[in-house]
A and B are shown apart, each in its own frame.
Chain A
Amino acid sequence: MNTFKGFVIKEFKQIYRDKRTLVVLFGMPVIMMILFGFAIRNEINDAQIGILDFSKDQVTRSVIQKLSNSESFKVTAYLSGYDEVEEIFRAGEIKEIVVFEQQFEKKLTTGGIANIQIITDATDPNLANLVQAYTSNIVRDYVNELNAESGFVTNQAGLQPEIRMMYNPELRSVNLFVPGLIAVILMLVSALMTSISITREKEMGNMEILLVSPLKPHHIIIGKVLPYMVLSIVNVFTILVLAEFIFNVPFKGSYLLFFFEAGLFILAALALGVFISSVANNQQTAMMVSLAGLLLPTVLLSGFIFPVASMPMPLQWLSHIIPAKWFLIIVRGIMLKGSDLILMWKETLILALMTLGFIGMSLKKFKVRLQ
């Protein structure tokens, strides 16, 4: 036991002494949260729009006022004719032009139908969709207000689905990112750092001495893995604290369940780190394999930013074997929907099986000799 304890103490000391890496490991979650939380957004803020108002009456002015009052839009151009549309879009600043037909108010009050046209710059289709959706929302709001105030009943042509964004009504991107960020950071710390730590030992030649000693192979593995497990848990705490207090990300479910699932995922990542270290002979290889083989798929294919459902079928199948994908479903469920184990038993089972599988693989692959 003392053998093992001595080994673990050494591991902690080595990590603690490497100040530069420590700063990165502890600082990274904070930096990433700030980046994703503040800088990268899927909402629109102050998107520039233009108005082509053929009517220029009370109603159109109210609608325009409402649009420009909203945080999402800023009216920066008033056009006088359709011929200006293309030029404005070419200039690039304006993302959308709202067109009000002539005699808008009159048509609305007498016939109940008035046309608004929304022209969007769809060179960025995501943005175009968003802009159009927000605009539609605002217009609809206005229409409902009008109905309420004046007793008019205005109809909307065609099927008008009532849209409610559940669980994330404001479509806040930070709610989307935080669970994914947890997965990415855990992969980074647990898998990447563990694989580097073990291969560094190999590179330096110290692994030889450790093997030729009473230390059993599983002692070596656990000793190597323990500090990073602790680090991972600290990082998860950091992210949750930042998420709750700075970004107001909701946490509707059980903390106990959350940490249980996080624990499973951490174990899976650690096992993968150990596995990589068995097949890599130096730190550089370990790093490359971890980055390309684990981190990249986790970021791109797990549903972290890009929805899995939008991907081509082969990639969707591929995403099934990425542990982060299941972890994200679970974490989003717990945090944003308040789901419990009964609802997520399937994903938890899959994650647990994967974890056991990875642990088995890594133990088997760990070499007791130099060949």
Chain B
Amino acid sequence: MNTVVNISKASKSFGNVEALKEISFEVNEGELFGLIGPDGAGKTTLFRIMNTLLIPDSGSATVLGSDVVEDYKIIRPQLGYMPGRFSLYLDLTVEENIQFFASVFGTRLEENYDLVKPIYSQLEPFKNRRAGALSGGMKQKLALSCALIHKPKLLLLDEPTTGVDAVSRKEFWEMLASLKNEGITIIVSTPYMDEANLCDRVALIQKGEILQIDTPDKIVNSFKKPLFGIKSQNKYKLLQVLQNYQWTDSVHPFGEYIHYTDIRDKTSRETLDDYLHEQGISEVEIISIKPNIEDVFMALMSGEREGINE
């Protein structure tokens, strides 16, 4: 198993803002690796170090066997890169965009057509339309095709699904999964926690630091405490009541249910139910649920906030 990316204690600051604080991680060949974290976590900075556009202030980074500082000329042609906001040429047509990117990488659309076909075939009916006139989901697909067209060894996608609707997002990840079969290593960043489940391995990143790196399953299993899902008619009142409960460890709304953990080691549904009834909340439903990545992320974030380690 080859290591495609190796980052060791990389730090980067912009003025007094510490964008990255001694980040270390590895990505293996053929992996679909996710960088999960909100805005400002340092994802874009990390990408720019990997694609050799930024130099780390300290630490080192090796991509595809070459150093990002010394040997950037070797690395660059082997990368496929899609920065945020897609960065297409809006006044060129769909076809012209892809032909341009193909030629820039010394190839032609025809040569690697099979690789991009599942994606590009959806765009072909619109090949003479200007890229600026496409919808968000279509721009995303075009940008992916353009990044792939030269069959790169490593594909770097910086927030490709941000601002795009749920359907397009789903389709996009399906396309990424099928790309894995071609042996391309893919590193994707996203603020959507649910997308983490679709990756081989994931790094949770927040404020320039990596909170945890592992497979999604292992990350979810690292959530030690029992997790309850609590539901009631009046969501807001339920939330307030639980926030004021002396035994509450964490309480977060999660759509229909509120995810709740207790400070005590063991707690039963009855105790909770009783308390809630006392507080005037009726028709309560309490179930045990399995945590997801977002639960873990928030627990890690709160652990950070209070200086306690999970």
On A, residues with C-beta under 8 Å from B are 2-3, 5-7, 9-10, 13-14, 17-18, 204-206, 208-215, 368-371
Residue in B85, B99, B105 whose Cβ sees the most chain A Cβ within 10 Å = B105
A213 CA / B152 CA spacing, docked (Å)? 11
A313 CA / B43 CA spacing, docked (Å)? 56
A213 touches B105 (CB 8 A): yes
Nearest CB on B from A206, distance (A): 5
A204 touches B87 (CB 8 A): yes
Nearest-CB residue, chain B, relative to A18: B91
B100 touches A212 (CB 8 A): no
A209 touches B103 (CB 8 A): no
Given pairs A7-B100, A208-B87, A209-B83, 9 additional interface contacts (CB within 8 A): A6-B100, A6-B102, A10-B89, A14-B91, A204-B87, A204-B90, A212-B53, A212-B79, A371-B55
A5 CA / B48 CA spacing, docked (Å)? 27
Contact partners of B105 in chain A: CB under 8 A: 3, 213-214
Q: Which 7 A-B pairs have the closest CB atoms?
A: A6-B103, A205-B87, A214-B77, A370-B53, A17-B91, A10-B100, A212-B81
A25 CA / B84 CA spacing, docked (Å)? 33
Nearest CB on B from A211, distance (A): 6
Nearest-CB residue, chain A, relative to B12: A371
B53 touches A211 (CB 8 A): yes
A3 touches B104 (CB 8 A): yes
**Candidates A17, A209, A213; contact of B87 at CB < 8 Å:** A209
A13 touches B106 (CB 8 A): no
**Candidates A14, A204, A369; contact of B55 at CB < 8 Å:** A369
B48 touches A3 (CB 8 A): no
Nearest CB on A from B213, distance (A): 25
A210 CA / B104 CA spacing, docked (Å)? 8
* Between-chain CB contacts (< 8 Å), 9 pairs: A2-B103, A2-B106, A3-B105, A14-B89, A204-B90, A205-B85, A212-B51, A212-B53, A369-B54
**Candidates A7, A17, A205; contact of B104 at CB < 8 Å:** A7
B residues 86-114 with Cβ under 8 Å of A? 87-92, 96, 99-106
**Is B225 an interface position by the 8 A CB rule?**
no
Contact partners of A371 in chain B: CB under 8 A: 54-55
Contact partners of B96 in chain A: CB under 8 A: 10, 13
Nearest CB on B from A171, distance (A): 48
Contact partners of B48 in chain A: CB under 8 A: 208, 370
**Is B52 an interface position by the 8 A CB rule?**
yes
Contact partners of B106 in chain A: CB under 8 A: 2-3, 214
**Candidates A7, A17, A18, A206; contact of B103 at CB < 8 Å:** A7
**Is B76 an interface position by the 8 A CB rule?**
yes
A205 CA / B143 CA spacing, docked (Å)? 13
B87 touches A215 (CB 8 A): no
Contact partners of B102 in chain A: CB under 8 A: 6
Contact partners of A206 in chain B: CB under 8 A: 87-89
A208 touches B83 (CB 8 A): yes
A18 CA / B83 CA spacing, docked (Å)? 25
A213 CA / B102 CA spacing, docked (Å)? 11
Nearest-CB residue, chain A, relative to B146: A209
Residue in B76, B84, B92, B104 whose Cβ sees the most chain A Cβ within 10 Å = B104
